[in-house]
Amino acid sequence: MTRIIFLGAPGAGKGTQAQTLAEHWKIPHISTGDILRSAIQEQTPLGVKAKSFVDSGQLVPSELVQDMVEERLQKADTSSGWILDGFPRTVDQAAFLDNLLKKKNLGGALVINLDVPDDVVVDRLLERGRKDDTEQVIRRRLEIYRSETTPLIDYYGERKQLVVINGNKSAEEVTSNLKDLTVSC
Protein backbone atom coordinates (compact mmCIF):
# COMPACT_ATOMS: atom_id res chain seq x y z
CA MET A 1 0.00 0.00 0.00
CA THR A 2 1.34 3.40 -0.98
CA ARG A 3 0.85 6.19 1.56
CA ILE A 4 2.72 9.41 0.83
CA ILE A 5 2.72 12.84 2.45
CA PHE A 6 4.08 15.70 0.35
CA LEU A 7 5.82 18.66 1.96
CA GLY A 8 7.33 21.59 0.11
CA ALA A 9 7.08 25.32 -0.26
CA PRO A 10 4.37 26.91 -2.38
CA GLY A 11 5.56 26.49 -5.97
CA ALA A 12 7.77 23.47 -5.20
CA GLY A 13 5.61 21.23 -7.38
CA LYS A 14 3.74 19.22 -4.73
CA GLY A 15 0.39 19.37 -6.48
CA THR A 16 1.82 18.52 -9.89
CA GLN A 17 3.81 15.56 -8.57
CA ALA A 18 1.00 14.33 -6.32
CA GLN A 19 -1.46 14.37 -9.22
CA THR A 20 0.96 12.59 -11.58
CA LEU A 21 1.80 9.86 -9.08
CA ALA A 22 -1.84 9.44 -8.03
CA GLU A 23 -2.80 8.81 -11.66
CA HIS A 24 0.16 6.46 -12.12
CA TRP A 25 -0.71 4.33 -9.07
CA LYS A 26 -4.48 4.82 -9.33
CA ILE A 27 -4.76 6.13 -5.79
CA PRO A 28 -6.38 9.37 -4.65
CA HIS A 29 -4.50 12.65 -4.43
CA ILE A 30 -6.01 14.14 -1.30
CA SER A 31 -5.67 17.87 -0.84
CA THR A 32 -7.05 19.51 2.28
CA GLY A 33 -8.37 22.35 0.13
CA ASP A 34 -10.29 19.86 -2.01
CA ILE A 35 -11.62 18.06 1.07
CA LEU A 36 -12.83 21.35 2.52
CA ARG A 37 -14.50 22.53 -0.70
CA SER A 38 -16.13 19.13 -1.26
CA ALA A 39 -17.48 18.88 2.30
CA ILE A 40 -18.91 22.39 2.09
CA GLN A 41 -20.47 21.73 -1.32
CA GLU A 42 -21.94 18.39 -0.21
CA GLN A 43 -23.13 20.02 3.03
CA THR A 44 -21.78 17.21 5.18
CA PRO A 45 -22.02 17.83 8.93
CA LEU A 46 -18.32 18.73 8.98
CA GLY A 47 -18.73 20.84 5.83
CA VAL A 48 -21.53 22.85 7.44
CA LYS A 49 -19.29 23.54 10.46
CA ALA A 50 -16.38 24.51 8.21
CA LYS A 51 -18.55 26.81 6.09
CA SER A 52 -19.36 28.98 9.09
CA PHE A 53 -15.63 29.63 9.60
CA VAL A 54 -14.93 30.18 5.90
CA ASP A 55 -17.90 32.55 5.49
CA SER A 56 -16.70 34.67 8.39
CA GLY A 57 -13.17 34.81 6.99
CA GLN A 58 -11.64 32.70 9.76
CA LEU A 59 -9.26 29.77 9.45
CA VAL A 60 -10.93 26.41 9.82
CA PRO A 61 -9.79 25.04 13.23
CA SER A 62 -7.19 22.31 13.14
CA GLU A 63 -9.46 19.83 14.93
CA LEU A 64 -12.12 20.24 12.24
CA VAL A 65 -9.54 19.78 9.46
CA GLN A 66 -8.31 16.63 11.24
CA ASP A 67 -11.85 15.28 11.44
CA MET A 68 -12.33 15.96 7.72
CA VAL A 69 -9.06 14.18 6.84
CA GLU A 70 -10.05 11.21 9.00
CA GLU A 71 -13.43 11.04 7.30
CA ARG A 72 -11.78 11.24 3.84
CA LEU A 73 -9.26 8.50 4.65
CA GLN A 74 -12.14 6.16 5.51
CA LYS A 75 -13.54 6.25 1.97
CA ALA A 76 -13.23 3.10 -0.12
CA ASP A 77 -10.93 4.63 -2.74
CA THR A 78 -8.13 4.90 -0.15
CA SER A 79 -7.87 1.14 0.42
CA SER A 80 -4.88 0.86 -1.97
CA GLY A 81 -3.21 3.99 -0.64
CA TRP A 82 -3.25 7.76 -0.95
CA ILE A 83 -1.17 10.87 -1.39
CA LEU A 84 -1.72 13.72 1.07
CA ASP A 85 -0.97 17.27 -0.06
CA GLY A 86 -1.40 20.10 2.44
CA PHE A 87 -1.79 17.93 5.52
CA PRO A 88 -0.32 17.75 8.05
CA ARG A 89 0.84 21.34 8.45
CA THR A 90 1.79 21.17 12.13
CA VAL A 91 3.43 18.69 14.46
CA ASP A 92 0.11 18.27 16.30
CA GLN A 93 -1.57 17.32 13.02
CA ALA A 94 1.30 14.91 12.24
CA ALA A 95 0.88 13.24 15.63
CA PHE A 96 -2.89 13.03 15.00
CA LEU A 97 -2.27 11.34 11.63
CA ASP A 98 0.28 8.93 13.15
CA ASN A 99 -2.24 7.93 15.83
CA LEU A 100 -5.00 7.54 13.25
CA LEU A 101 -2.84 5.24 11.11
CA LYS A 102 -1.83 3.19 14.17
CA LYS A 103 -5.45 2.90 15.28
CA LYS A 104 -6.33 1.49 11.86
CA ASN A 105 -3.22 -0.76 11.80
CA LEU A 106 -1.98 0.93 8.63
CA GLY A 107 1.64 1.61 9.56
CA GLY A 108 3.30 4.86 8.64
CA ALA A 109 3.56 7.01 5.56
CA LEU A 110 6.53 8.06 3.48
CA VAL A 111 7.06 11.81 3.83
CA ILE A 112 8.60 13.51 0.82
CA ASN A 113 9.93 17.04 1.07
CA LEU A 114 10.34 18.63 -2.35
CA ASP A 115 13.28 20.96 -1.82
CA VAL A 116 13.50 23.95 -4.15
CA PRO A 117 15.66 27.07 -3.62
CA ASP A 118 13.67 30.18 -2.69
CA ASP A 119 14.78 32.11 -5.79
CA VAL A 120 13.46 29.32 -8.03
CA VAL A 121 10.15 29.23 -6.12
CA VAL A 122 9.83 33.01 -6.48
CA ASP A 123 10.45 32.78 -10.24
CA ARG A 124 7.95 29.92 -10.63
CA LEU A 125 5.25 31.75 -8.72
CA LEU A 126 5.85 35.03 -10.54
CA GLU A 127 5.49 33.17 -13.86
CA ARG A 128 1.94 32.16 -12.87
CA GLY A 129 1.02 35.81 -13.22
CA ARG A 130 -1.44 36.01 -10.35
CA LYS A 131 -2.14 39.55 -9.18
CA ASP A 132 -1.38 38.77 -5.53
CA ASP A 133 1.91 37.03 -6.40
CA THR A 134 4.41 39.84 -5.99
CA GLU A 135 8.00 39.02 -5.05
CA GLN A 136 7.54 40.60 -1.61
CA VAL A 137 4.35 38.62 -0.92
CA ILE A 138 5.91 35.37 -2.15
CA ARG A 139 9.04 35.83 -0.01
CA ARG A 140 6.84 36.51 3.05
CA ARG A 141 4.84 33.34 2.35
CA LEU A 142 8.12 31.42 2.12
CA GLU A 143 9.24 32.79 5.50
CA ILE A 144 5.96 31.69 7.07
CA TYR A 145 6.17 28.31 5.36
CA ARG A 146 9.72 27.73 6.61
CA SER A 147 8.90 28.74 10.20
CA GLU A 148 5.82 26.52 10.28
CA THR A 149 7.28 23.54 8.44
CA THR A 150 10.74 23.23 9.98
CA PRO A 151 9.33 21.54 13.12
CA LEU A 152 7.34 19.17 10.90
CA ILE A 153 10.43 18.28 8.87
CA ASP A 154 12.30 17.65 12.14
CA TYR A 155 9.39 15.52 13.44
CA TYR A 156 9.40 13.21 10.43
CA GLY A 157 13.18 13.23 10.18
CA GLU A 158 13.50 11.97 13.76
CA ARG A 159 11.08 9.14 12.88
CA LYS A 160 13.11 8.19 9.79
CA GLN A 161 10.08 8.78 7.55
CA LEU A 162 11.44 11.81 5.70
CA VAL A 163 13.05 11.76 2.27
CA VAL A 164 14.25 15.00 0.69
CA ILE A 165 13.97 15.20 -3.10
CA ASN A 166 15.59 17.88 -5.22
CA GLY A 167 12.62 19.64 -6.78
CA ASN A 168 14.83 21.99 -8.77
CA LYS A 169 14.71 19.80 -11.88
CA SER A 170 12.25 19.35 -14.71
CA ALA A 171 8.87 17.97 -13.65
CA GLU A 172 9.65 14.77 -15.57
CA GLU A 173 12.98 14.27 -13.78
CA VAL A 174 11.36 14.82 -10.38
CA THR A 175 8.57 12.37 -11.27
CA SER A 176 11.13 9.78 -12.32
CA ASN A 177 13.06 10.22 -9.07
CA LEU A 178 9.86 9.88 -7.05
CA LYS A 179 8.77 6.73 -8.89
CA ASP A 180 12.19 5.18 -8.25
CA LEU A 181 12.02 6.13 -4.60
CA THR A 182 8.49 4.98 -3.93
CA VAL A 183 8.72 1.64 -5.70
CA SER A 184 9.82 0.29 -2.35
CA CYS A 185 6.85 1.72 -0.43
Per-residue pLDDT of the chain (185 residues; tens, 9 = 90+): 889 999 999 899 999 999 999 999 999 999 988 899 999 999 999 999 999 998 888 889 999 999 999 999 999 999 999 999 989 989 999 999 999 999 988 888 999 999 999 999 999 999 988 888 899 999 999 998 899 889 999 999 999 999 999 999 999 999 999 998 866 55
CB 185 within 8 A of CB 21: no
Q: What is the pTM of this model?
A: 0.89
What CA–CA distance (Å, rounded) separates 185 from 178? 11
pLDDT confidence of residue 130? 84
The annotated binding site for AMP is made up of 32, 37, 58-60, 86-89, 93, 130, 141
pLDDT confidence of residue 185? 52
Q: How many CB atoms lie within 10 A of CB 113?
A: 22
The annotated binding site is made up of 11-16, 32, 37, 58-60, 86-89, 93, 128, 130, 141, 169
CB 4 within 8 A of CB 107: no
Measure the N-to-C terminal CA separation of the chain; round to a whole number of Å.
7
Give the chain's domains with CATH numbers.
2-180 (3.40.50.300)
Distance from the Cα of residue 139 to its chain's centroid: 20
pLDDT confidence of residue 52? 92
pLDDT confidence of residue 106? 85
What CA–CA distance (Å, rounded) separates 65 from 45? 13
pLDDT confidence of residue 33? 86
The annotated binding site for ATP is made up of 11-16, 128, 169
